[in-house]
């Protein structure tokens, strides 16, 4: 019987995710490119782990820390690119190749610090990702509003996973010193495989290639709005109603801010303070109201109405519809039409004079 290491299976799953992303028409968009590279790096690293621990090929060991450092840097670049309004070249992130260059140099001249350097790299990038997440979903100004919340949660998952991986490395190092690390190899392999699968799925979700069901948490109470906040919120509402921007499936916070000639953060603050929601929820409220009107007045399939109102993911649409109306689209249509029919069939009472 042919032995297939578990990391190879994980690599295959990651390659399938990558293929799904490439098949999409918009895979070449600049915000997608880092995620394509990131999932490709996850796949390659999983293959290296499989070769090392599945077939005990020790000659491949030097490639693993280099790949690990590249993964941490690519994770940061991918999400940081979603938080950037301008569409400058990805070459602006060139300093993030330096950790990998440093590890290559250490492998050549002085191997002892390689492990601590990789651990420090994971800790640093994990902390940077969590710091990026501090501003909420609206920090990802280039993420489609239809999936901004999922991208934000993927950001948290990736940051926590990097820190957890670094913590595990520290724990394994202590185990090696105290007990010789009898099971350290198996722990490293299994932990890396699970981490890569989680990170690959998170990257796929963040890039917009798929979605998962989720219930948004309640945000903290925003500060009282200022007069400027009211003015910005009013201008945004007029823009939404007059031009129906919410119907654009590619709409993001950066695009809204450019149409208003304002910084994205300023628009986000105004919406949060005046309406108490994120920009993605604010826009989705318009989309759901339009969907409700269409469901009652038109006989088109729900999926088509979903696309017409600006959603690109059925799970996101159903989740947001439930949040706003308390029910699903099919049941909403049935109830409203039944109510309309009941009103129409009621007898009219005429009072004679």
- Average pLDDT over every residue of 107-123: 90
Confidence class for position 27, pLDDT limits 50, 70, 90: very low
Q: How many other CB atoms are there within 10 angstroms of residue 185's CB atom?
A: 13
- Average pLDDT over every residue of 147-162: 80
Q: Do 51 and 57 touch, CB atoms closer than 8 A?
A: yes
Query: Which residues are CB-contacts of 345 (< 8 A; sequence separation ≥ 6)?
Result: none
What is the DSSP track for 173-194?
Answer: HHHHHHH--TTHHHHHHHHHHH
Q: Do 35 and 204 touch, CB atoms closer than 8 A?
A: yes
SS3 (DSSP) at 299: coil
The pLDDT of residue 217 is 44
The pLDDT of residue 189 is 54
Determine which of 24-38, 56-70, 82-96 has the lowest per-residue pLDDT on average. Answer: 24-38
Q: Do 210 and 20 touch, CB atoms closer than 8 A?
A: yes
Q: Do 294 and 305 touch, CB atoms closer than 8 A?
A: yes
The pLDDT of residue 24 is 58
Burial of 21 (0-12, 13-18, 19+ CB in 10 A): buried
The pLDDT of residue 64 is 83
Express as a percent the part of the chain with pLDDT over 90.
Answer: 22
Answer yes or no: is pLDDT of 49 > 90. no
Over the stretch 282-308, which tens digit does the pLDDT of each residue have? 999 999 999 999 998 888 899 999 999
CA-based angle 145:148:153, to the nearest 5? 170
- Average pLDDT over every residue of 138-156: 81
- Quote the mean pLDDT of the chain: 77
Over the stretch 167-216, which tens digit does the pLDDT of each residue have? 776 766 665 566 554 555 555 555 555 555 555 555 555 544 444 333 44
At what angle are helices 184-206 and 6-23 packed, to 10 degrees? 10
Tokens of 264: 């994205």
Q: What share of the chain is helix, strand, coil (3-state, %, to 5)?
A: 75, 0, 25
- Between CA 131 and CA 156 the distance in angstroms is 10
Q: How many other CB atoms are there within 10 angstroms of residue 94's CB atom?
A: 10
Express as a percent the part of the chain with pLDDT over 70.
Answer: 72
- Average pLDDT over every residue of 339-346: 57
- Average pLDDT over every residue of 50-78: 83
Tokens of 65: 């820390």
The verdict on pTM exceeding 0.85 is: no
Over the stretch 3-24, which tens digit does the pLDDT of each residue have? 566 667 767 776 776 777 666 5
Indicate the length of the chain as a whole number. Answer: 353
The pLDDT of residue 63 is 87
| Higher-confidence position of 143 and 76 | 76
Answer yes or no: is pLDDT of 265 > 80. yes
The pLDDT of residue 237 is 93
- Between CA 312 and CA 246 the distance in angstroms is 12
**H helix or E strand, kind and range, residue 336:** helix 329-344
- Between CA 84 and CA 82 the distance in angstroms is 6
DSSP secondary structure code for residue 25 in this structure: T
CATH of domain 227-341: 1.10.10.60
| Higher-confidence position of 170 and 263 | 263
SS3 (DSSP) at 82: helix
At what angle are helices 184-206 and 148-179 packed, to 10 degrees? 170
Query: Which residues are CB-contacts of 37 (< 8 A; sequence separation ≥ 6)?
Result: 74, 78
| Higher-confidence position of 265 and 198 | 265
Task: Measure CA 34 to chain center.
Answer: 13
Domain ranges for the chain, please list them.
Answer: 6-206, 227-341
Query: Which residues are CB-contacts of 279 (< 8 A; sequence separation ≥ 6)?
Result: 137, 138, 145, 148, 253, 256, 267, 268, 271
Over the stretch 218-232, which tens digit does the pLDDT of each residue have? 445 667 888 898 999
Answer yes or no: is pLDDT of 102 > 90. yes
Determine which of 99-103, 205-209, 277-281, 323-327 has the lowest per-residue pLDDT on average. Answer: 205-209
- Average pLDDT over every residue of 65-75: 88
- Can you identify the CATH homologous superfamily of domain 6-206? Rhodopsin 7-helix transmembrane proteins (1.20.1070.10)
């Amino acid at each position: 019987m042919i032995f297939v290491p578990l990391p190879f299976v994980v690599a295959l799953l990651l390659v399938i995710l990558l293929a799904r992303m490439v098949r999409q028409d918009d895979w070449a968009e600049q915000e997608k490119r880092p995620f394509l590279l990131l999932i490709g790096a996850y796949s390659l690293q999983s293959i290296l782990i499989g070769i090392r621990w599945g077939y005990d090929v020790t000659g491949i060991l030097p490639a693993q820390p280099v790949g690990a450092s590249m993964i941490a840097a690519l994770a940061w670049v991918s999400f940081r690119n979603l938080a950037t309004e301008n569409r400058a070249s990805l070459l602006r992130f060139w300093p993030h190749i330096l950790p990998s260059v440093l590890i290559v140099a250490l492998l050549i001249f002085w191997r002892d610090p390689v492990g601590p350097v990789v651990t420090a790299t994971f800790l640093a990038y994990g902390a940077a990702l969590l710091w990026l997440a501090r501003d909420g979903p609206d920090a990802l100004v280039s993420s489609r509003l239809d999936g901004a919340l999922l991208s934000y949660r993927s950001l948290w998952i990736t940051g926590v996973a990097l820190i957890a991986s670094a913590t595990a490395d520290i724990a394994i190092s202590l185990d090696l010193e105290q007990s010789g690390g009898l099971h350290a190899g198996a722990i490293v392999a299994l932990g890396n495989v699970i981490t890569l699968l989680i990170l690959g799925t998170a990257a796929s979700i963040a890039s917009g290639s798929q979605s998962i069901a989720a219930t948004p948490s309640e945000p903290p109470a925003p500060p009282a709005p200022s007069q400027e906040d009211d003015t910005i919120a009013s201008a945004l509402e007029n823009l939404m109603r007059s031009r129906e921007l919410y119907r654009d499936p590619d709409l993001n916070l950066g695009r809204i801010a450019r149409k208003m000639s304002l910084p994205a953060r300023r628009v986000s603050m105004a919406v949060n303070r005046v309406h108490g929601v994120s920009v993605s929820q604010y826009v989705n409220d318009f989309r759901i109201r339009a969907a409700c009107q269409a469901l009652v007045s038109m006989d088109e399939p729900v999926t088509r109405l979903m696309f017409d109102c600006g959603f690109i993911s059925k799970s996101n649409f159903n989740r947001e519809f439930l949040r706003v109306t308390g029910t699903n689209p099919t049941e909403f249509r049935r109830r409203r039409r039944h109510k309309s029919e009941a009103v129409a069939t009621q007898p009219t009472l005429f009072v004679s004079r």
